[in-house]
Structure 1
């Protein structure tokens, strides 16, 4: 499962590069058209906004997998190894609970907005709100694997993630 998640996050990273490139092309192209040719692409702002939202949630999934989010490493490292494991498990369970809340809320919003069309593109707003469902499923899977690993390795101390100077 870990290998699947590694490959999945590498694919997401590649998609993030593509989404960012598309955003730059749309916004820059629209600026050139507006100021250079007194024209523009009506859909550019809307599509760029959607791409940005998807890019943000994809980045959050990749950051969760790489354990790149901010943490309380100094506080946790002061605890005993057993207390570190317990606090880590509590944190994972709380994150799973929040992920469940995001899933149920996003699913409800997605269903509500299936028949609502975006003003310019006419695309279903479900694609906009569905990003929360994507995020919740992806992060939930990562968190469940982390819970499993923590339970399996309960008697071993947690290895803190250290950043190299390049990071």
Structure 2
């Protein structure tokens, strides 16, 4: 199951990179057209904006899965181990509640905009607001998985609480975990 998810998230990373490249290309093309030819592609700004929104939401799912979101763990690290688990689980419950609110708000916006289309691209706005549904669901599933691991898998809390001081720490840990898998 873990390898299948790893492959899925590799595809998601490629998709995000493609969307970022497309977004940069659209914006750059528009700048060149405006500067040199005094014209523009009308739909490119809107499309770049929507791609940016999707990149952010999909990136949030990936960051939650990799446990690389910004976090303040100084309080939890100073607590005794029993209370560390409680503090971690309280944080996860808060995230879960926020995802319920995100899902609720995204659902209402999606339903309100079922018949609406974007002005320049004519893309249904349900595609724009629907990403909140996908993100909140995926993060909620991840939170429930983390809670399960923290409660029932010995030693997993230490890995779940591991916040990275720098990107180098994160790269070292990734390399070590890949060596363990092989």
Q: Give TM-score scaled by structure 1 length.
A: 0.91
1:13 is the counterpart of 2:16:
no
Which of 160, 163, 166 lines up with 1:161 in the alignment? 163
**Whose relative contact order is higher, 1 or 2, with alpha carbons under 8 Å and at least 6 apart?**
1
Partner of 2:178: none
CA offset digits 1:37-89 (Å, max 9, x no partner)? 22210001000000000001111111111111122222111001110011111
Instruction: Flag the 1:154–1:99 CA change in 2: closer, same or farther, 3 A.
Output: farther
CA distance in structure 1 between the partners assigned to 2:156 and 2:116 by the alignment = 51
Greater CA drift, 19-28 or 150-159? 150-159
CA distance in structure 1 between the aligned counterparts of 2:118 and 2:157, rounded to whole angstroms: 50
Q: Structure 1: any 5+ residue segments left out of the alignment?
A: none
**166 and 32 in structure 1: CA distance in 2 versus 1, 3 angstrom threshold:** farther
Distance 1:22 1:156, change over 3 A: closer
Equivalent residue pairs, number? 167
CA-based RMSD of the aligned residues comes to 1.9
Q: 1:2-35: CA deviations, max 9, x gaps?
A: 4444333222211110010000110001111111
Query: Residue 128 of structure 1: SS of its match in structure 2?
Result: helix
Whether the 8 Å CA contact 1:81–1:156 is kept in 2: the answer is no
**What is the rounded CA distance, in whole Å, between the counterparts of 2:4 and 2:90 in structure 1?**
25
Stretches of structure 2 that go unaligned for 5 or more consecutive residues are 171-182
More helix by share: 2
* Residue aligning to 1:134: 134
SS in 2 for 1:158: helix
Distance 2:4 2:51 in 1: 25
After superposition, the Cα gap between the structure-2 partners of 1:146 and 1:2, relative to the gap in structure 1 and judged at 3 Å, is: farther
Give the distance between the partners of 1:104 and 1:133, measured in 2 at CA: 8
